[in-house]
Amino acid sequence: MGRLVKGVWREEWYDTEASNGEFIREDAGFRDWIKNEPSARFQPESGRYHLYVSLACPWAHRTLIFRELKDLTTHIEVTVVSPDMLTEGWEMSLPDPLFGFTRMHQIYTQAKPDYTGRVTVPVLWDKKHNTIVSNESSEIIRMFNSEFNELTGNHDDYYPEKLRNDIEHWNNIVYENINNGVYRCGFATSQKAYEKAFEDLFSALDQVDAHLAKNRYLAGFEITEADWRLFTTLVRFDAVYVGHFKCNKKRIADYSNLQGYLKELYQVSGVRETTDFDHIKRHYYYSHTGINPTQIIPKGPDLDLNSSHQRVLSLND
């Protein structure tokens, strides 16, 4: 794992010494927006944008799900990088179709030759201005949710105004303690930092599980952005985070409500096809040599996500 410093690639791990062993994620470096407005620099157009993702990455997975749910598959092309992230970061499985590059960091310096920061996925590329629109997944999914509606005719709304306070409430809990919480466990380099992240993670999972005993989804009885942001961590949890990141107090399969909720979301049309457990396990166990120096990829676990997901809610409590 590394980063770009003024456009030059350096193999450099996170500086956890400065944070007492705690993993701190860097903010995204590109934060522009596609807007369906005449004056906008980036406007919704079919074929204009290209999405770079890893099937292993939970942040990138969000954007693939929204691309499916919002009928954008024929309008926004996708390049899937290799699951391997080694000495030069994310590698391309094949030379990328726009420039013939073989490393994601080349996409970043194509947009900004002196870029400094982590090279992450997803990346939303604009072919018209030859630059990156955004590498912030939470903002890309909001663009996909609303800005292409006139183009696709799909007006499904996963961030409805009436539920936004609830959605943001759960996004805040889920991001810090669960989405990023598993990384805070796995990338911690002190016992104290690991145990703090571990307690935060399972406290939040317990809170969500209890909430789902009375609510079908996080914001009530309607699937929203908050559910999809949680889903991409839950679907990787038993396969990777329990063992590789030492998140081993419980599996998602051990939670009566979370497991049924996970199955229901996994079985939504189009979502299963965006989920690749071979890529997921290969990336984490093979790429993180500081955690798994042998690079041995486990054969298990057997995951039961295709069976019935009927849940009984305690609505009278």
Residue 196 lies in a domain: yes
220: left (phi over 0), alpha (psi -120 to 50) or beta: left
Predicted pLDDT at 25 = 67
**133 and 25 together in one domain:** yes
* Cis peptide upstream of residue 301 (ω within 30 degrees of 0): yes
pLDDT of 197 > 50? The answer is yes
Residue 229 lies in a domain: yes
* Cis peptide upstream of residue 122 (ω within 30 degrees of 0): yes
The range of the structural domain enclosing residue 173 comes to 161-268
Tell me the CATH number at 106.
3.40.30.10
**36 and 115 together in one domain:** yes
pLDDT digits (tens, 9 = 90+) for 24-72: 667 778 999 999 999 999 999 999 999 999 999 999 999 999 999 999 9
**9 and 145 together in one domain:** yes
Q: Annotated catalytic residue: which of 52, 57, 284, 286?
A: 57
**144 and 181 together in one domain:** no
The residue from 104, 126, 152 where one domain ends is: 152
Give catalytic status of residue 175 as yes or no: no
pLDDT digits (tens, 9 = 90+) for 53-62: 999 999 999 9
Q: Distance between CA 128 and CA 134 in Å, rounded?
A: 14
SS3 80: strand
Give catalytic status of residue 183 as yes or no: yes
Q: What's the token pair of residue 30?
A: 């590109």
Whole-model pTM?
0.95
Q: What's the token pair of residue 93?
A: 């499985």
Residue 305 lies in a domain: no
Which of 8-12, 114-118, 250-254, 308-312 is predicted least confidently? 308-312
**141 and 165 together in one domain:** no
Tell me the CATH number at 182.
1.20.1050.10
pLDDT digits (tens, 9 = 90+) for 133-145: 999 999 999 999 9
**148 and 6 together in one domain:** yes
pLDDT of 317 > 50? The answer is no
Predicted pLDDT at 16 = 67
Tokens 């959605």 -> residue? 167
Q: Distance between CA 67 and CA 271 in Å, rounded?
A: 10
Q: Annotated catalytic residue: which of 49, 52, 183, 285?
A: 183
